[in-house]
């Protein structure tokens, strides 16, 4: 949606779990046709993110249980669900686990675009005491006039209705009163605005201390199907087999003492920004280990009791990565922005 010089792209991510049979996440006995063979499929361990549909199913079950507050009935849930999934220009399917926006603004030239982008970082602590992108073109007014000075000028006063100008002045006063508190909050949290480069473009961003301390890299524990309780407890099929799931690999990542929130990037005279860009640095990388939703292997073990050999066959998921399985990850989102830049070229 948008107009001649601005467009907003609404985007969502489909969680790969939405297209997998829920039974695959639970341990399941499987017929073997052999009384001395115990065969079972080990449930797939998954990351914490789930499709939006899971929220709907959970709320529906909660209401059906009779423990929900009186106002929470199915009519209330359907109205809530419709608002979450069908709001105009913010639609998202139940299979998604994330929805966000990308904004692209076309300015008259690169210089104007760059100042507009820099103002995004300056205004939280300076209010409207920032340069006017492109400068002032009105006769008799200084070109170095700030945006705040322009909004309070007699020139603007003569151009707009009196009531509108007075409302503007009241809003400016309110913003000015809040600036000291915002500056104090930024200083307390160590938030600083900086300019740099991202995806080959000039960028403006906030940089702030990482609240999470560095953690030691430890090998994931090897946990057998029986140790994990086989779903609801006990072993599957009565065989008592204990088969380890292949451990996830250790992935070394350099620790960063600071976090970044990109406010926008500049390509020629285009500003690319929006909530999806702001969140990109917090997304997990594509090489984050997880278990495959489709690839498995058989692990066989045998025991002897009273001279009889019993066989346990476990079908276990293989190690994989977020990128391979289709989970939301940083590099995948970066490809979206690279695609936008290619289109703008």
Put simply, whether the predicted model's pTM sits higher than 0.85 gets the answer no
In the chain, the number of structural domains is 3
**Is 239 part of a structural domain of the chain?**
yes
Q: Is the Cα torsion angle 335, 340, 341, 345 positive or negative in sign?
A: positive
Quick check: 164 pLDDT over 60?
A: yes
Q: In 10 A of CB 232, how many CB atoms?
A: 7
- Say which residue, 212 or 277, is predicted with more confidence: 277
**What pLDDT score does 216 carry?**
60
Q: Which candidate, 274, 333, 340, 342, places its Cα nearest to that of 12?
A: 333
- One domain, residues 150 and 292: no
State how beta strands 270-273 and 6-14 pair: unpaired
Question: How many other C-beta atoms are found inside a 10 Å radius of the C-beta of residue 295?
Answer: 12
Q: What is the per-residue pLDDT for 159?
A: 87
42 and 67 together in one domain:
no
Same domain, 272 and 205: yes
Q: Provide the percentage of residues in the chain whose pLDDT is more than 90.
A: 60
What are 131's strand-pairing partners?
146
Do 282 and 140 belong to one domain? no
Indicate if 23 and 66 belong to the same structural domain: no
- Which structural domain range is residue 137 located in? 126-189
120 lies in a domain? no
256 within some domain: yes
In this structure, the answer to whether residues 198 and 345 fall within a common structural domain is yes
- Residue 138's Cα: distance from chain center in Å? 44
Q: Are 15 and 51 in contact (CB under 8 A)?
A: yes
Residues 215 and 312 in one domain: yes
Asked if residue 320 has pLDDT above 90, the reply is yes
Residues 286 and 198 in one domain: yes
Give me the percent of the chain exceeding a pLDDT of 70.
90
| Cα 119–chain centre separation | 25
End position of a domain, from candidates 168, 189, 210: 189
Supply the Cα-derived Rg of the chain in whole angstroms: 28
pLDDT, tens digit (0-9, with 9 covering 90-100), for 55-112: 999 999 999 999 999 999 999 999 999 999 999 888 899 999 999 999 999 999 999 9
3-state helix, strand, coil in the chain (%, to 5): 35, 25, 40
Alpha helices in the chain (DSSP H): 52-65, 74-86, 110-126, 147-151, 154-157, 162-189, 275-279, 322-325, 330-344
Q: Are 60 and 80 in contact (CB under 8 A)?
A: no
Asked if the structure places residue 116 within a domain, the reply is no
Pairing relation of β-strands 37-41 and 308-321? parallel
- The answer to whether residues 225 and 332 belong to one domain is yes
Please state, in angstroms and rounded to a whole number, the distance separating the CA atoms of residues 81 and 94.
9
Pick the last residue of a domain from 145, 161, 189.
Answer: 189
Give the model's pLDDT for residue 218: 40
pLDDT at site 237: 32
What was the pLDDT predicted at 221?
37
Separation in Å, CA 240 to CA 84, 180, 234, 236, 313: 45, 66, 8, 7, 11
Least confident of 65-69, 133-137, 194-198: 133-137
pLDDT digits (tens, 9 = 90+) for 25-49: 999 998 878 888 888 899 999 988 8
Q: Residue 239 above 50 pLDDT?
A: no
As a whole number, mean pLDDT of residues 276-300 equals 93
Q: Does residue 215 surpass a pLDDT of 70?
A: no
In whole numbers, what is the pLDDT of the chain averaged over residues? Answer: 86
């Amino acid at each position: 949606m948008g107009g001649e010089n601005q467009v907003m792209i609404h985007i969502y991510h489909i969680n790969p779990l939405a297209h997998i049979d829920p039974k695959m996440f639970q341990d399941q006995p499987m017929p073997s046709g052999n009384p001395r063979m115990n065969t079972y499929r080990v449930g797939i361990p998954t990351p914490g993110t789930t499709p939006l549909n899971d929220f709907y199913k959970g709320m529906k079950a909660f209401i059906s249980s009779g423990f929900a507050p009186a106002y929470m009935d199915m009519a209330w849930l359907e109205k809530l669900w419709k608002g979450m999934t069908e709001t105009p220009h913010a639609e998202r399917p139940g299979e998604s686990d994330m929805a966000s926006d990308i904004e692209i603004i076309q300015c008259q030239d690169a210089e104007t675009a760059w100042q507009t982008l820099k103002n995004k970082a300056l205004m939280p602590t300076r209010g409207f005491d920032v340069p006017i992108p492109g400068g002032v073109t009105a006769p008799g007014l200084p070109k170095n006039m700030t945006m705040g000075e322009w909004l309070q000028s007699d020139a603007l006063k003569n151009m707009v209705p009196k009531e509108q100008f007075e409302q503007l002045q009241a809003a400016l006063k309110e913003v000015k009163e809040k600036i000291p508190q915002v500056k104090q909050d930024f200083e307390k949290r160590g938030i600083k605005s900086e300019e740099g480069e991202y995806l080959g473009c000039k960028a403006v961003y906030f940089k702030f201390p990482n609240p999470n301390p560095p953690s030691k890299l430890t090998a994931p524990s090897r946990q057998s199907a029986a140790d994990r309780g086989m779903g609801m407890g006990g072993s599957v099929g009565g065989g008592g087999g204990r088969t380890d799931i292949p451990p996830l690999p250790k992935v070394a990542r350099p620790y960063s003492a600071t976090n970044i929130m990109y406010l926008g990037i500049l390509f020629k005279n285009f500003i690319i920004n929006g909530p999806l860009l702001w969140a990109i640095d917090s997304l997990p990388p594509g090489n984050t280990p997880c278990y495959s939703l489709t690839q498995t292997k058989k692990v066989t073990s045998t025991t002897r009791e009273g001279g009889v050999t019993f066989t346990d066959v476990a079908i276990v998921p293989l190690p994989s990565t977020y990128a391979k399985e289709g989970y939301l990850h940083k590099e995948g989102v970066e490809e979206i922005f690279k695609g936008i830049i290619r289109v703008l070229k």
